[in-house]
Structure 1
């Protein structure tokens, strides 16, 4: 007989929960029940440490060992080795790698992980707030502002569908049709946004660019003329702050647009662009090949890759960061953080914090950011000197999978807990938790079972809407997953028009205009009720968090000061109750 027990989430067995600060001492306990003498070891990064037998109770051996974690941030990997007179066995992480209670192995055990981080602070102001993401061209317009650089296509009907390939003159998906949403329009709708309980507005890129999404920067120092001016941005920040709302901007540094001041492929700006001038001051920002072609983002020629660590590039974009902060912006979301060198992110953080120590820096990372490997390198996002926090796609996926009954309560709890365990607490508190963004299908469509149609050609996606029966089940699921989102720690984020019942699959159908005057009142009332309930509940905003599975149910407990509440979620009946 040989029984082994360890639980990485139980402080009886690992004295410090989750990620630990560099230089800390962690005590590990291992329980081994065996009818023969045993020895136990903890194997950390292939180095074996003998565990001390603290107590022997009949056939139960209790082993302990104190381990000082490295003084340098990084990841520690560990498992246990148990020797008896007859054989050696191992104890490690379960096959899903979500940690907690482990399993026995005869050989090649999977390691547990500990994230080791330097001491750092994240901004307190964002903790407990609700975020609202706006795709600026599609939110609200005061009047059309034309561009002096491009003869843009403007829709005459605010409510019509965005263009797809066949609608553009060249038959390609150009993303160059505009509805005219602008910064003045956002200012006008601040009262509406506040009525949702929102405390942070996250804007997709607003600087000068050819496309409607503006992820193809043409000038990092300018606001796109169709959106307004720097004065408009400053006014937006000022008016929002009066309502206790802060503004953060989307920043895209892994590439620029080919139609930009810096690259100027089409000679539109005539400012010494890199494409046509080998002596351009921007030439070193890009990687050109001998045949005249250049490296581009995912092979898209309109998005030439940048050399982010080029001194000239860093100097320029850091100047732009200082400018936006001086106008009242309170932080940034960093697009495709995986494609930015660690050195660049470190220096960017220094610049941001030197201007405003309370400015937030959130990275776009789709996986567990603590152990992400990109381009062959282990990333250092959460070690204390890069990002404050990240977008929380792992939670989004877990919530949706649980709501759609693709996973059970135990799996859901494990997927929630692994992020809490792997992330430093100060970053965990600032996680951007969302159900929808500009990169994924609308949550109502997903709740209505349309996710399996995302790979259809755009022409076919255009006609995908929920039937009455699909809508009814989607509404119940939406209510369930929205309540679940608001119960989790972090900063819940709502994508504009989700609260108005917008439907649509992938780009551009997830980027339709906000349906002013045509909102789904039933869904809008649902969002307002649940969001404001969270906004007014200190337990949900600031309280401690515990989650467990009990007889197929998810139980969440939130405690703050002398108050506590237990929330019970049942995905089989799509029910939520609290006591």
Structure 2
């Protein structure tokens, strides 16, 4: 028995409640122990009766990554004061695993000192599932490049022809009314969630350098246009999530300009992180996003900044009834602020979703007190390694998929935003050598993963594009140039998500006979995706 591989942590991703009377427990072991016949049982009971009364349940092996195996049990309980230990059996020898580690015997007389416990399930500590997320298929729109809807607006800012290759600073003219115009197209495609890149007042085409958070950029429309967009989207069963850029702002923001002018005398001086009395834009003596001096970092530890940003977060729920926020550069903003943000947003709209931008293991932010999920770039990388780079075979891909599932609680996995590409990456179709069969297979796998699939606009048309800004090309609305056969295949894959098995089903990902098998099961029904190569899959 490899005791160094054993891991269980109470009140963590290894032990968490799904509701007031249902819990999930996980035990990590060495992969080789699981493959050599290790059996795991749970010996559990009520905290105050455990010495005299205990129950036993088998804990099945559920997941295997490169090094470890994970045994998992989902258990209904009658008393929320829950305690337990694990019993491990290998080669006809029995071991016990408790807070004392791995032992060959266990003394129930002294159990109060070393059993694992979930001491009490307080209802407000249970991470709720945003119930509409597992059944949603999202569509990310880079607003300037999707569709021009308002033909009467001031077009003087547009400096590229629709369809030309974009530059970092070019404007094509897409707007909110263009999205309203295409809602029926999105509904027909099977989309039930839209995520927009920023829409607030900014000098750039991407709008990630915001000047005024309560003003819709005139290039995109008006507050009334956003209200109409949300209303019309809701009428079609489509929810809308906006981009919250709260890590940084524009140097043109009123508060930053006041600091430039008045230095430490400005009441906004501590809204930013400045080395010195005055903000020096030319020499950049302040913290910013990446190395961009045009995007000074907001000090989210400052109570006045917190109040300002929380007001914005709830303002757009009040005004436009948006359905949630995607949080830009979420991992560089203080956890303390995100805790306040969650309470404010959920108090205003309990089923609003909060999706962080974090390209890595974001477990510290995904424990129920901050974000519901993240943009699942770890999944993106797994897909690139298998479909594009060919550096992982089917077995390795299965291991990596299981590994990212074990990063988080079950609720989080079922709210993940699973994407192949975005405005920040090379287009997936370009990365895979413009192979439509590979793209189709990757979309199929995305539809089978727990969480919400997210298509970057134009994926259904196999849109090309290298890294930013080329990944932000204009959508081609000339239907005569569409590949209708591929579009129908994408529609049919999206339609699969209407099946409750793919929304709420348990998941098993296994490698068998050099194939990736993603198996979803729910209420006695099963759907299986078998991928035998990057260009070949079967659904049954």
TM-score by length of 2: 0.79
Structure with more helix by fraction: 2
Partner of 1:527: 490
Does structure 2 retain, via aligned residues, the 8 Å contact 1:16–1:26? no
* Compared CA separation, residues 550 and 67, structure 1 to 2 (3 A): farther
| Match of residue 400 from structure 1 | 384
Which residue is equivalent to 1:222?
215
Do structure 1's residue 11 and structure 2's residue 4 form an aligned pair?
no
Equivalent pair of 1:15/1:28 in contact (CA under 8 Å): no
Measure, in 2, the Cα distance between the counterparts of 1:51 and 1:208: 66
Matched, 1:303 2:295: yes
Task: Select which of 402, 410, 416 maps to 1:417.
Answer: 402
Equivalent residue, structure 1, for 2:86: 28
Would you say 1:130 and 2:137 are equivalent positions? yes
**Contact residue 203 and residue 249 of structure 1 kept, 8 A:** yes
Describe the shift of the 1:307–1:159 C-alpha distance in structure 2 as closer, same or farther (beyond 3 A).
same
Residues 360 and 263 of structure 1, relative CA distance in 2, 3 Å threshold: same
Partner Cα separation in structure 1 for residue 490 and residue 365 of structure 2 = 32
Question: Residue by residue, what CA displacement relative to the aligned partner does 1:23-76 show, whole Å, maximum 9, x if unpaired?
Answer: 754532333449xxx8967586xx64635279xxxxxxxxxx984246699xxx
1:259 alignment partner, one of 252, 256, 281: 252
1:75-474 map, 5 Å? 118-143=125-150, 153-163=157-167, 175-264=168-257, 273-278=258-263, 279-290=265-276, 292=278, 293-326=285-318, 327-370=320-363, 380-404=364-388, 405-448=390-433, 471=434, 474=435
**Structure 1 residue 485: deviation in Å?**
1.0
1:301-336 CA-to-partner distances (Å, cap 9, x unmatched) read 101111012111111111111111011101011111
Contact 1:209 1:257 in 2 (8 A): yes
Question: Gapped runs of 5+ residues in structure 2?
Answer: 3-31, 42-57, 62-69, 108-112, 279-284
> Are 2:243 and 2:328, in contact at CA under 8 Å, matched by a contact in 1?
yes
CA RMSD in angstroms comes to 3.1
Q: Contact (CA 8 Å) 1:18, 1:422: kept in 2 or not?
A: no
8 Å CA contact retained: 2:135, 2:498: no
Q: What are structure 1's unaligned runs of at least 5 residues?
A: 55-64, 74-116, 164-174, 265-272, 371-379, 449-470
Distance of 1:557 and 1:32 partners within structure 2: 28
Q: Which whole-Å CA distance do the structure 2 matches of 1:542 and 1:331 have between them?
A: 21
TM-score by length of 1: 0.74
Q: Is it true that 1:558 corresponds to 2:520 in the alignment?
A: yes
Deviation at 1:179? 0.9
Shift of 1:523: 3.2
Aligned match of 1:106:
none
Report the alpha carbon displacement of residue 159 of structure 1 after superposing the two structures with TM. 1.0
